[in-house]
Structure formats: structure tokens, C-alpha cells
């Protein structure tokens, strides 16, 4: 033991070879521990709405505006503060606008540069110099550092700063400088980002969101059911591929696949046009606004139907292959009476709204026609071979997981499957039983196997597990008794469309249940919180996102435009800064253009969920714990130097 410790200290002494070096590091770490904790920003259910996402990222759910208020208090009008905020979010576009009306740009630059420097000073004050230095934009690193650091030794500070600012303006670099310093402020107001699931589907730009996340300075992702669906598709799972295309078609977003990812949909399009030429496809109307191009719209409708039928077939095949999923009831094509045009569900006969199934052989309803098979083979190759998609999936895999424990908070997208009585539900997965955290861990590892396992069957199970996670009643990311896709397309009876939620969602006010979940994930219920998304909070019906006296926060971000009429707002985001937890309610985002022109922001209201009595420091966080360990080790090293057990390396 002693020997091991000496060995470890020897290693450490390579990094800190002298008493002086070790001491300096201890002092530095101690200083960091006493700084206020960095701000965490939580977003969920972005659903491809990249403009709204980009805006919330820029304004840090009100964090930029808060900094402006802190700095200027009552010395700036609310209007001027909003202009300054807009400048920080959209510096380039805002300056273009200003230039059209402002007669004295030099004056404008001077005033705004001064204000931006003050805001960035405040934003930087929470961090060590070294961390700020790393965040500085390359071109202006030196001068920004000069401007935001207090200089005690200079007597006439004002003229010192003024001369720097005037030089920037004189040499024609004011705009670039404003852009750089605005970026720095955005970068500094949020220290770490949590994406609590569902980046993909419904909206037009998930790929743009993924590109943005790839460059974000610090983040983690808890996968949502829609993200896992795309992961399954990227791994070549046919049920997932068909669902991904069907959802893109349903929302008129096939461009994501064609233009965003370069996946060729021409074979599917020509097949759909031919096969459903005279079919009005009325059950497959698209969601969202009508497309101006009628021919494109007609084609989308037919592709929507073609891929839906393919989906029901391939899903039937998976159900037959993966008997352990016990989903036989959800294979519906063999429950149709093709002559009568009806289906038997739970012992009841329903009339189908659409009975044109030219590719279904009633005796073998799950078999793909030759052409359908050819299309699926090509799509499988296209998805698995798409470099950009694979790159985005690698980001999800490396930054993400099914859940995360971070600074005493438990983050997951959907739920923890429970029994009616609130106990953890035992779930069978490939012949083994799991519940609670073990269920999450098992599913997480299956997903990774779906990408990385060498053994073919293991890899196949991993891929099929992603489809399971998408729609299985026992999946913690789905959390509903059935996915009623077929019923919603083909049956008029609304009661068949209902997807019953797992008891979890009705037990969230029950403290005992919530505490059980927290303990299951190793958290102390006295201090912990659960943050989850997935279920839109219907504020217009008086529903609150805060459950169980603030222990649980359900913050479906409601970015998805299609869902805003159900929630009445654009949903919630969460901020966890050194003063506590803040829930922010957002108004619907109109457009980037409106945000710039009208200087409209979308956070409407903030609720303090928890205010701490003493400001939280880095020392109180998970990183703080690690730093304290390092301090302890370094103190042992110091002792070893001083006792002669280890010799300084000069």
C-alpha cells in the first residue's frame, strides 16, 4: 500500500517537480474552489427547431439579460438594455440595421464598446484568469484581456481604456471587435449545457442543431426517444429507418434527409408515385403549414403512405424475430380483414379509413414486395454510409447517455418505469430482468453494442434495442402503453389513439416515490432534483412543470411549433447558477428576423425553484470534489518533499 502511494506520488512529482510548483498548484486550486459555481443551462425537446434553439443558446435563457441588469441597474433604460442584449445575440445583423439609421457611427461604437466591455467584465468575474484566457477569441485575445482586467497600477484608467477603444475604431476594427466580445459574453454566461433529449424530428433543422452542439464548449446529452430512433436508423435498423423517414415525411421535412444528410430518396419517391398514383392518400396528410408547391406536396403524401406501409411490414418482421419483446399484439397487418376493410383490435372490429394496400399480400402481409425490399436495402446502405449522420451519432455517443447524475441532479428524458403502487417496475430484456438504474445501464450498453459490438448477433440485438427504446411500453424513454401510429392513420375512433402513460407520470407528486428513484440513482433526496423532458406541460390547463415541492421539474421545452397549441407556451428551460435554480417560461419564437428587428426576446417569466442561502461555490460541485481530491494529493506530495521521502527534481 505504502509502496503504491510512493509510486503515485513519484508520478505526481513529474508534474509538480518542486515544493514551489506543488504549492502554487494548491493555491490555484484553492482559489478555483472559492469561485461561484458556473451556470448550467438545461434544454429539452428541441425537435429540430434550430432558430429557436440558437436564440435560447445565445440569450442563455435570460442569463445575458441578467448580467446586463446587474451591470447597469437603473442607469440604462429597459429599451437600451434590450438593444444591448440584441447586439450581443446577433452582433453582425444588428450592426447592419443600426448603420442604416445611425448618423454618428463613431459615437455609437464608442458607447456600445464601453457597455460590452462592462458586461464581459462582469461575466468573466466568475472565472479564473486562465479559464477566461482560454475562452478569448484569438484575434482580440490580448486587447480584451487588457480591457477586462482591473489595472491598479494605472492612474488614469479612463484615458487608458479610451485610447484603446479609440484605436480600435480608428483602424476600422470596431465591428469585428464587437462580434468577438459578444461571442465571448455568450460563451461566458453559460458554463455547461445539458440537453435533456429529443433533438431530432418534427422541426426542420436537427442537423443544424447537431453542428452547433459539436462546437459547444461544454455539454452533455441525455438521449431522447427520437434521438435513439435516429441512432437506430444510423446503425441500420430497418424499423428505425422507416420511422425516421415517415416522421420526416409527415412533417414535410424530407429535406433534412436529402439536403441535410445527402440521403437519396429518389427510389422511394418514384416507387411511391407509381404505386399510389391514383390514391388520394387522405389519411396521410402532412402536419404543419401547406407547401406552396403542389406537385411536391402530392409527392410527399405518397411517400408518406409508402414508407408507413413499409414501416408496418418491417416492424411486423422484427416482432416475429425478437420474440423476447412480446409485442405480437402490435403487429397489426395480420389482424386486418382485407376483403371487408376492417381490423380486429382488443376483440372489437373497426372499419379502416383507407383500404388501398396494393403492396400487401393478405396471406403474407409482412413480406416486402421486391421493390420495397430493394428500397430498404438502398436506404440501409445510405443511412449507415452517410458520413455526416455517422459523425452526428458519434457526438451523441460520446457526449451522451440515457441518464446523467450531475451536481446532485438526476437528468433523463422520459421516466423510470414504475408499477401502479410506485415501486420500480421489473422489465424483461433479452431474457434478463432489470429495474431502475440497472435497466437504464443495460439499455445504454445495448445501444453502444448496436454500434460497436463485433459479434453479429450482439450487434443486431443492440440495434433492435434502439427500436425497442423508441416504442416499447417498458422503455424508460417512451413510457406509454402503446405507440398508436397505425390507429392514428387508419381509424376514426379516437379512443384507439390514446397512448396511456406509465404510472410514473401520475406519481410525481408522491414524495416517497420520488425519493425512491433518487436513492436508486445514488442521490440524497434531501438535496437532489430530477429534471426530465418528454411530456409537454399544458400550462394553458393550469399544469405546473414543478412537481413534488420542487424536487422534480418536467421541462419539455416545447420548442416544437406543432405542439405549441397544446401547451399554450413554447415551454420551459432551466438555469442552475450560483444563486439557485431558475425555471424560465418561454413565449413562442417568431423568427430570427423578428428577434433582431423588434428586439423581441422569448423568455417571458422566471420562477425561482430554489434559492440557496449561501452562494454556491465551485467547491460545492462535482468538479469541486475532484479538485479537493487533487489538493489532498498535492498536500501529500508536499509532505513527501518536506520529509525527504521524495526528492525535488530541479
Ligand X SMILES: O=P(O)(O)OC[C@H]1O[C@](O)(COP(=O)(O)O)[C@@H](O)[C@@H]1O
- Minimum separation from the CB atom of position 357 to ligand X (A): 21
480 binds, among ligand X, Mn ion, none (CB under 5 to 8 A by kind): ligand X
Kindly report the number of other CB atoms within 10 A of residue 139's CB atom: 13
CB of 373 to Mn ion, least distance (A): 31
In 3D space, the residue among 157, 164, 127 whose CA is nearest the CA of residue 142 turns out to be 164
Chosen residue from 124, 386, 447, 483 binding ligand X by CB under 6 A:
483
Do 286 and 316 contact (CB within 8 A), yes or no?
Answer: no
Nearest residue to 504 via CA among 466, 468, 535, 483 = 535
Q: Which of residues 187-206 bind ligand X (CB under 6 A)?
A: 198, 202
220 binding ligand X? (CB under 6 A): no
| Min separation Cβ 567 and ligand X, Å | 12
Q: Smaller CB distance to Mn ion: residue 225 or 516?
A: 225
Q: Does 225 bind ligand X (CB under 6 A)?
A: yes
Contact criterion met (CB below 8 Å) for 459 and 453: yes
Using CB under 5 A as the criterion, which residues of the chain lie in contact with Mn ion when the complex forms?
Answer: 198, 224-225, 534
Question: Residue 472: how many CB atoms within 10 A of its CB?
Answer: 23
C-alpha cell belonging to residue 572:
420551459
Position 566 contacts ligand X (CB under 6 A): no
Q: Which does 483 bind (CB under 5 to 8 A by kind): ligand X, Mn ion, none?
A: ligand X
Nearest-approach distance from CB 409 to ligand X, in angstroms: 21
Instruction: Check residue 499 for interaction with ligand X (CB under 6 A).
Output: yes
- For position 258 contacting ligand X by CB under 6 A, the verdict is no
Nearer to Mn ion, 206 or 224 (CB): 224
| DSSP structure string for 479-540 | -BS---HHHHHH---GGGG--PBPGGGGSTT-HHHHHHHHHHTT--TTT-EEEE-SS---GG
Alpha carbons 312 and 488: distance in angstroms, whole number: 13
Q: Is 534 in the site for ligand X (CB under 6 A)?
A: yes
Write the DSSP string, 355-407: ---TT--TTSTTPPPHHHHHHHHHHHHHHHH-HHHHHHHHHHHHHEESEEEET
Q: Are 366 and 335 in contact (CB under 8 A)?
A: no
Stretch that binds ligand X, among 94-102, 313-321, 483-491, 609-617 (CB under 6 A): 483-491
Q: Find, among 129, 148, 128, the residue nearest to 71 by Cα.
A: 148
Is 480 a residue that touches ligand X (CB under 6 A)?
yes
469 binds ligand X (CB under 6 A): no
Closer residue to Mn ion, CB minimum distance, 143 or 196: 196
Q: Minimum distance from CB of 414 to Mn ion (Å)?
A: 6
C-alpha 416/C-alpha 424 separation (Å) is 7
H helices of 218-293, where? Answer: 225-234, 238-250, 254-255, 266-275
Question: Toward ligand X, which CB reaches closer, 330 or 480?
Answer: 480
Q: How far is the CB of 534 from ligand X (least distance, A)?
A: 5
Which does residue 13 touch among Mn ion, ligand X, none (CB within 5 to 8 A, set by kind)?
none
Give the three cell numbers for residue 454. Answer: 463485433
Q: For residue 482, state whether it binds ligand X (rule: CB under 6 A).
A: no
Binding site for ligand X (CB under 6 A): 198, 202, 225-226, 480, 483-485, 499, 534
Amino acid at each position: 500500500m505504502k509502496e503504491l502511494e510512493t509510486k503515485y506520488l513519484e508520478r505526481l512529482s513529474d508534474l509538480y517537480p518542486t515544493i514551489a510548483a506543488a504549492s502554487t498548484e494548491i493555491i490555484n486550486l484553492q482559489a478555483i474552489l472559492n469561485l461561484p459555481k458556473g451556470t448550467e443551462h438545461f434544454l429539452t425537446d428541441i425537435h429540430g427547431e434550430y432558430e429557436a434553439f440558437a436564440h435560447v443558446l445565445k440569450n442563455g435563457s435570460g442569463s445575458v439579460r441578467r448580467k446586463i441588469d446587474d451591470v447597469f441597474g437603473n442607469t440604462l433604460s429597459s429599451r437600451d438594455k434590450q438593444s444591448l442584449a440584441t447586439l450581443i445575440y446577433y452582433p453582425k445583423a444588428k450592426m447592419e440595421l443600426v448603420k442604416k439609421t445611425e448618423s454618428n457611427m463613431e459615437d455609437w461604437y464608442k458607447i456600445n464598446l464601453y457597455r460590452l466591455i462592462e458586461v464581459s467584465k462582469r461575466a468573466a468575474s466568475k472565472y479564473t484568469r486562465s479559464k477566461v484566457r482560454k475562452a478569448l477569441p484569438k484575434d482580440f485575445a490580448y486587447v480584451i484581456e487588457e480591457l477586462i482586467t482591473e489595472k491598479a497600477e494605472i492612474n488614469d484608467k479612463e484615458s487608458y481604456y479610451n485610447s484603446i477603444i479609440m484605436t480600435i475604431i480608428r483602424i476600422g476594427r470596431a465591428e469585428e471587435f464587437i462580434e468577438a466580445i459578444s461571442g465571448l459574453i455568450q460563451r461566458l454566461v453559460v458554463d455547461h449545457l445539458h440537453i435533456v433529449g429529443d433533438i431530432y424530428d418534427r422541426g426542420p433543422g436537427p442537423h443544424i442543431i447537431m453542428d452547433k452542439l459539436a462546437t459547444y464548449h461544454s455539454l452533455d446529452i441525455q438521449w431522447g426517444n427520437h434521438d435513439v430512433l435516429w441512432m437506430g436508423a444510423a446503425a441500420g435498423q430497418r424499423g428505425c429507418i422507416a420511422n425516421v423517414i415517415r416522421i420526416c415525411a409527415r412533417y414535410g421535412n424530407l429535406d433534412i434527409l436529402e439536403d441535410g444528410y445527402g440521403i437519396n430518396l429518389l427510389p422511394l419517391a418514384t416507387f411511391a408515385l407509381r404505386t399510389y398514383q391514383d390514391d388520394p392518400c387522405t389519411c396521410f396528410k402532412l402536419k404543419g403549414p401547406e407547401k406552396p408547391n403542389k406537385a411536391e406536396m402530392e409527392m410527399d403524401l405518397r411517400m408518406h403512405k409508402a414508407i408507413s406501409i413499409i414501416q408496418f411490414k418491417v416492424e411486423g418482421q422484427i416482432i416475429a424475430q425478437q420474440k423476447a419483446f412480446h409485442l405480437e399484439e402490435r403487429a397489426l397487418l395480420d389482424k386486418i380483414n382485407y376483403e371487408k376493410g376492417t381490423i380486429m383490435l382488443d376483440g372489437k372490429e373497426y372499419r379502416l379509413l383507407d383500404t388501398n394496400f396494393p403492396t400487401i399480400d393478405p396471406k403474407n402481409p409482412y413480406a416486402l414486395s421486391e421493390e420495397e425490399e430493394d428500397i430498404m436495402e438502398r436506404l440501409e446502405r445510405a443511412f449507415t454510409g452517410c458520413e455526416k449522420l455517422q459523425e452526428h451519432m458519434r457526438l451523441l455517443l460520446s457526449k451522451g447517455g440515457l441518464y446523467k447524475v450531475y451536481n446532485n441532479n438526476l437528468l433523463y428524458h422520459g421516466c423510470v418505469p414504475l408499477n401502479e403502487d410506485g415501486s420500480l417496475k421489473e422489465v424483461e430484456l433479452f431474457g434478463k430482468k432489470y429495474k431502475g438504474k440497472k435497466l437504464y445501464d443495460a439499455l445504454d450498453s445495448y445501444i453502444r453494442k448496436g454500434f460497436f459490438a463485433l459479434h453479429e448477433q450482439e450487434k443486431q440485438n443492440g440495434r433492435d434495442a434502439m427500436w425497442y427504446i423508441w416504442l416499447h411500453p417498458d422503455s424508460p424513454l417512451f413510457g406509454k402503453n402503446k405507440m398508436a401510429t397505425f390507429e392514428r392513420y387508419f381509424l376514426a375512433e379516437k379512443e384507439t389513439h390514446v397512448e396511456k402513460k406509465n404510472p410514473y407520470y401520475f406519481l410525481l407528486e408522491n414524495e416517497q416515490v420520488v425519493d425512491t428513484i433518487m436513492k436508486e440513482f445514488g442521490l440524497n433526496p434531501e438535496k437532489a432534483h430530477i429534471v426530465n423532458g418528454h411530456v409537454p406541460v399544458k400550462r394553458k390547463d393550469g399544469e405546473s412543470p414543478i412537481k413534488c415541492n420542487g424536487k422534480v421539474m418536467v421541462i419539455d421545452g416545447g420548442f416544437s411549433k406543432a405542439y405549441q397549441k397544446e401547451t399554450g407556451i413554447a415551454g420551459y428551460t432551466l438555469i442552475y447558477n450560483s444563486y439557485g435554480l431558475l425555471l424560465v417560461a418561454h413565449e413562442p419564437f417568431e423568427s430570427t428576423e423578428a428577434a433582431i428587428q423588434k428586439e423581441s426576446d422569448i423568455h417571458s417569466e422566471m420562477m425561482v425553484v430554489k434559492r440557496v442561502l449561501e452562494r454556491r461555490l465551485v467547491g460545492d460541485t462535482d468538479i469541486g470534489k475532484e479538485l479537493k481530491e487533487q489538493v489532498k494529493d498535492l498536500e501529500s506530495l508536499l509532505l513527501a518533499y518536506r520529509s525527504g521521502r521524495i526528492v525535488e527534481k530541479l
